[in-house]
Structure 1
Amino acid sequence: MANLMDITGFILKGSIITLELFIIVAVCSVPLGILVALGKNSKIKPLKAVLSLYTWAFRGTPLLLQLFFTYFGLPVVGIRLTPLTAASIAFTVNYAAYLAETFRAGIESVDRGQFEAAKALGMNYRQTMIRIILPQAARNVIPPVCNEAINLIKDTALVAAIGIGDLLRAAKEVVTRDFTITPFIIAAVVYLLITSLLVLMFRKLEKKYSFY
């Protein structure tokens, strides 16, 4: 029992890094994704072209490749980052690209009559987006954003490739040391608990925005 508690404690220490990376990426990628979505919906063609290229590139290449490029590639041009910083940047720009398409679809799902009604009331573009369009779009994008959040928790396991001691790496170290599969089972339980909490949180958000 004591050994099991020690293993669990060691794995939970690794989960701190997993949650830290998740929070950093969530806080940074959501606003960036919204800005990119708004830019892609604008009438400025050069801006739309640049943002379309960005989402095409980061959605079309593996996250692991982007992680390697950020951590191992940038030092070639003199930019050296800590493992956590490199992972945070790579994950943020990757997930922002996916979220941008989700938010763009959510905005476009709002009936065009809403824009016209807001214009008739004398609202400018900024007021229309903040007061009318984004609140309605928010409810439509909650389910796909929830899926992206769950994927993010699972994708954090990729950081082991650049030496970060996350949840999965901690479990793997114990498996290698003690030659037992118990750490993998514990890691799976921890992942399931985290993702279950995320699902509950997004369900509450969905109910909150249900009046739209």
Structure 2
Amino acid sequence: MTEEELIANYPRLYHMAHDGAWPAIQQHGLLSASALLDLYKIEGKQRFALESQRRPESVPLRGERLPGAVIRDQKPMRDHLLAKCLGGGLTPQDWYELLNSRSFFWLSASRIWRLLKARAYRDKPQTVLTIDAAGLIAGHRERIWLSTLNSGSTLFNPQPRDLQTFKRIADFPFQERSKRRKEDNVVELVIDHSVPDVAQHVLAVHKVEGDRILQEIWRSDRAADGDHP
């Protein structure tokens, strides 16, 4: 797959953060779970529990002179199902640490809405970023991976996964998978560690609850009318 094909087919990316997250994202960028643990200096047993094991609930973080953050839960994961679908000698701990080391984006609005309307999240407001794919890819192409599946879920017939689940843009088999719906061809775009400059690529920020957009929090002068989840 070429970058041009990726951008033409998926011109917008989407990220769901906790309610009220936009000021912290503007200040520190979009941080993976591991990057947040680094920033808030979480170590030892607490770090192992948050980074190397399933998180059944979201966990707030506090730090001196820091704005506060939330590490997302991993409700869609089940250890016994994950162990069955992992390949390449990977363990659930390996997979959690891999996921926690990366920042995740959906490539279709239908995917972000599916997450927003999931039972675990539909009754709580969320912050949704709509992002210009071209700018983000140009700025971080060397750290980008594409996934063929929802790597953070083992619900509903979990698919096999290993290190080859994530591929560089040039190695992604887009044409071979072209019979699938576009939203099921490239499912996730992930970036190693963090995206410090993500605010430069954000086109719009909305407060969403369930199937309703409650408020437009921020909009770039580069945004089009359709730039929303």
TM bucket normalised to smaller:
under 0.3
* TM-score, normalised with respect to structure 2: 0.22
Structure in which a larger fraction of residues adopt strand:
2
Larger Rg computed on CA atoms: 1
